[in-house]
Structure 1
Amino acid sequence: MKHNMHYELTSMADTPETFSYAEDYSFWIPMIEHFFAHADSFEIHCWKEESAKFEDILNELSSVERDEDGQLFIASGQLNEKAKEFILSRSLDTKGRLKWFSLFLEKQGESLFSSEHYGVELIGYKLNAEQIAFLEKVLPEDVRHFEW
């Protein structure tokens, strides 16, 4: 049986920025690495005012497709070994916070998993019991979740 799950972190860092950031992102790398095994492509969204973060993606992953949607820059491509290594090693900033507004993982053109609003909201599509158990193990205890 497959389940669509939505997780929302509740412990936020005290920051002067407009956006909320999680208090702790120690879950993020193992979580994304886990979903790499099931995905074949990715899409990263950055706000236009964060152009340096977007340029970093373009410089490191020259094969990505570049797009714009309103106030967002979008980079997408195949989830090859170079892209996986980049996402794992460059996703957190010097303060340990997620750099990108959103990261989407897909398999054969269908949404599999997303990390949105700087990793504060996490959505899994058609997850099996093993994937749900993994998320419940790695995510903070005070995370809110619901199934639809």
Structure 2
Amino acid sequence: MENNFFIYINLTEKNVDFQSYKYWFLLIDYYIKTANFIEFHVWNDEVETIEELSLKTNLEKIDLHPMKMVCFQGDINKNLINFISQESLNQNGDIKWFSLFLKCNGNCFFESSHWGSEINVENPDKNEIKMLKDMMPKNAVFNHFK
């Protein structure tokens, strides 16, 4: 992690428009174009989400026993992109997946964790950092580690 840009959004803070997760969908739309591989991490007790990923994607399912999680991973295709853009929110309007990782040629360059409240981008340039800051909710906290 030579150049790591980390963003935290407090999803419980009042008077902040994060519930639409507009920022999250903008990020996914932007970064998924560069990715060729994806991973979802879901807690074992999120049975509905696990079943949905099993039924609606062709991703490989891997049990992460020590972490009490399930990982779904595989190549990105148009059907998966459509699934993410249309079915990422649960019945309560929250992001379904605890973590989502986008990779290109084995290198993870984008991570969304804690149901979209933590975003990590590897090696962003100055223009990308400005774009990230402009699209985040007002309460976003930014940390740039070099």
Q: Deviations over 1:19-58 (max 9, x none)?
A: xxx6552211111111012211100011110121011111
Task: For 2:120 and 2:60, locate their aligned partners in 1 and report how far apart those are by CA, in whole Å.
Answer: 23
Partner SS state of residue 133, structure 1: helix
What code does the residue aligned with 1:138 have? Answer: M
Asked if the contact 2:63/2:70 (under 8 Å) is kept, the reply is yes
TM, length-normalised to structure 1: 0.86
TM-score normalised by L of structure 2: 0.87
Question: For residues 77 and 9 of structure 1, what CA distance do their matches in structure 2 show?
Answer: 28
Pairing 1:99–2:96 present? yes
For structure 2, which runs of at least 5 residues remain unmatched after alignment?
none
Give ranges in structure 1 of 5+ residues lacking alignment: 15-21
Q: Does the CA contact (< 8 Å) of 2:11 and 2:117 recur in 1? A: no
AA at the equivalent of 1:6: F
1:44 aligns with 2:43: no
Residue equivalent to 2:87: 90
Between the aligned partners of 1:51 and 1:127, the Cα distance in structure 2 is: 35
What is the aligned counterpart of 2:115 among 118, 130, 148?
A: 118
CA distance in 2, matches of 1:23, 1:12: 10
Q: 2:130 aligns with which of 130, 133, 145?
A: 133
Q: Kindly state the Cα deviation for residue 131 of structure 1 after the two structures are TM-superposed.
A: 2.2
**More displaced, 131-140 or 95-104?**
131-140
Give the paired residue count: 139
CA contact (8 A) 1:3 1:128 kept: no
C-alpha distance in 1 between matches for 2:41 and 2:56: 16
The Cα RMSD (Å) is 1.7
Alignment of 1:58-97 (within 5 A): 58-62=54-58, 64-70=59-65, 71-97=68-94
CA contact (8 A) 1:43 1:75 kept: yes
Partner deviation per Cα, 1:46-79 (whole Å, 9 max, x = no partner): 11101210111111112x1110112101100111
Q: Which residue of 1 is the match for residue 106 of structure 2?
A: 109
Could you tell me which residue of structure 1 aligns to residue 25 of structure 2? 29
1:13-24 aligned at under 5 Å gives the runs 23-24=19-20
Give aligned-pair identity as a percent: 24
Contact 2:103 2:109 in 1 (8 A): yes
CA distance in 2, matches of 1:38, 1:136: 20
In structure 2, C-alpha distance between the alignment counterparts of 1:12 and 1:23, rounded to whole Å: 10
